[in-house]
Amino acid sequence: MDELERQKAEITERLAQNPTDIPDVHPNVANIYRQNVVRFTEALEDPDGGREAAQVLRSLIGEIVLRPTPSAAKSRPSYAANSWASSIS
């Protein structure tokens, strides 16, 4: 148990030393996203590219959230870009 506490203290200390201004996204995320948009556009223009277009679109959208509005008959969708870019090495 003492070993785990020591490891926890060491990790906490290392985390405290990390700069807070480092972005949580890959530095090349804009170019990667742009390339995927180009691939999506090309797939849409290809008469046989429907499956590829769907795959690329899935890679561009991370989630779709429907939030009810005061009028229960309407929902307002919001979209979030995919977070895959933050894990690219």
Q: Mind listing the pLDDT tens digit for each residue in 12-52?
A: 888 888 777 776 777 788 898 889 889 888 888 888 888 88
In this prediction, residue 75 carries a pLDDT of 58
Number of domains in the chain: 1
On whether residue 7 sits in a domain, the answer given is: no
**DSSP symbol at 68:** E
On whether residue 9 sits in a domain, the answer given is: no
In this prediction, residue 89 carries a pLDDT of 37
35 near 43, Cβ under 8 Å?
Answer: no
52 to each of 39, 63, 69, how far by Cα in Å?
9, 19, 34
pTM above 0.85, yes or no: no
On whether residue 81 sits in a domain, the answer given is: yes
Q: Mind listing the pLDDT tens digit for each residue in 50-60?
A: 888 888 888 88
* Res. 85: pLDDT tops 50: no
**Size of the chain, expressed as the number of residues it contains:** 89
On whether residue 31 sits in a domain, the answer given is: yes
Collapsing DSSP to helix, strand or coil, 64 comes out as strand
On whether residue 76 sits in a domain, the answer given is: yes
On whether residue 4 sits in a domain, the answer given is: no
CA 29 to chain centre: 10
On whether residue 51 sits in a domain, the answer given is: yes
On whether residue 19 sits in a domain, the answer given is: no
